[in-house]
Amino acid sequence: MPNPGDRVGHYVIARPLGKGGEAAVYQGRDLESGRAVVVKVLEPSQLGEVAAFERFRREVAIGRLLKHPGIPRLLDVHDDARPPYIVLEYMDGESLRSIMEAQRRLPVSRALEIATSLAEVVAYCHAHRVYHRDLKPENILVDAAGRVKIIDFGIALLEDAPRVTWRGFSGLVGTPEYMAPEQIKGERGGPQTDVYAMGLILYEMLAGRPPYRSANPLSTMYQHLNMTAEPLRTYRDDVPVPVAAIVARAMRRRKEERFATAAEMHAALCHPETVDTSVLERPDPPLGVPLHESLTRHPLFVLGAVAVVTAVLALLAEMILRH
């Protein structure tokens, strides 16, 4: 893999930006035009993986298809190089993650501005039948004018997971904090998967923490399927009820109960006064094994019930033995 200062074609590598299971991403400079670019190089260990190369080629196809100021343009493709690489437009902006780190809870108006801009870019992708499937604050840039840019379509292409290890998990199959229930269940994910992630991101911008989070990825997945997120307005009462309703609808566990597309969510964000707020009152039943939640939520009650049943059985056994 290249190091800073190395030349790749007519590009010079400036610094690494990130590394996933299948590719490494660098900031570079085009020696012909002088402009900053992003160079994405296929991981050499993936060269023999038919599926990985196929995904690489489809990323190229998507890059050629999407032309929007919120999505980096595909500038150059070298799929016959060893290792193959593509060159993308370098986009300026601050990552939503670092914005949220600097200010844990964003003002409602700022959070709504970002969410609306995000929904607009995602709606454009959905209109072209491209679904991102890994939207998260790290993949979202916000420029000085408040416009959102989505920078990683790495798993938008994911048809079948390659044979990789847990270490590469978040880079290849979505990040557990932002995975939709249907992805956890094994589905590929569609427009409602992006809607779910956008709901989680808006929730996090307003609440200052993601609704489901744990040190263990499996436990986070469990929470998506079974736990109920703390209502937004328990964190702050300046969140308007219609905004809380938009978040709640986007985060419904069953995809058919969410906004059908990003365009629908975008319309709701633009006109919150039209939103049906009854979703806040409707239960959202778990999708997994319910006993675990009752154990987690009411452990004393469950353990007490087990103790009572055991005691009754012991008494019965003693009575039977005496007689």
Binding residues for another protein, per CB under 8 A?
A: 1, 43-50, 52, 160-167, 169, 172-173, 184-188, 218, 221-222, 225, 288-289, 292
- Residue closer to another protein by CB (options 128, 185) is 185
- Residue closer to another protein by CB (options 95, 296) is 296
- Residue closer to another protein by CB (options 19, 29) is 19
Q: Minimum distance from CB of 4 to another protein (Å)?
A: 16
Structure tokens at 35: 């402009």
Quote the CA–CA distance of 160 and 66 in Å, as a whole number.
22
Residue 270 makes CB contacts below 8 A (sequence gap 6+) with 116
Q: Minimum distance from CB of 314 to another protein (Å)?
A: 30
Q: Minimum distance from CB of 46 to another protein (Å)?
A: 5
Active site residue 134: yes
Q: Minimum distance from CB of 129 to another protein (Å)?
A: 19
Phi, psi of 39 (to 5 degrees): -110, 120
C-beta separation of 253 from 246 below 8 A: no
Residue 22 makes CB contacts below 8 A (sequence gap 6+) with 42, 43, 46, 49, 52, 55, 56, 154, 162, 168, 171, 172
Which position among 30, 134, 152, 194 bears the catalytic label?
134
State the residue for tokens 């916000």: 142
Phi, psi of 179 (to 5 degrees): -85, 135
Q: Minimum distance from CB of 218 to another protein (Å)?
A: 6
- Coil/strand/helix, residue 21: coil
Structure tokens at 105: 């809870």
- Residue closer to another protein by CB (options 79, 276) is 79
Structure tokens at 196: 């779910």
- Residue closer to another protein by CB (options 35, 254) is 254
Quote the CA–CA distance of 181 and 307 in Å, as a whole number.
34
Active-site residue list = 134
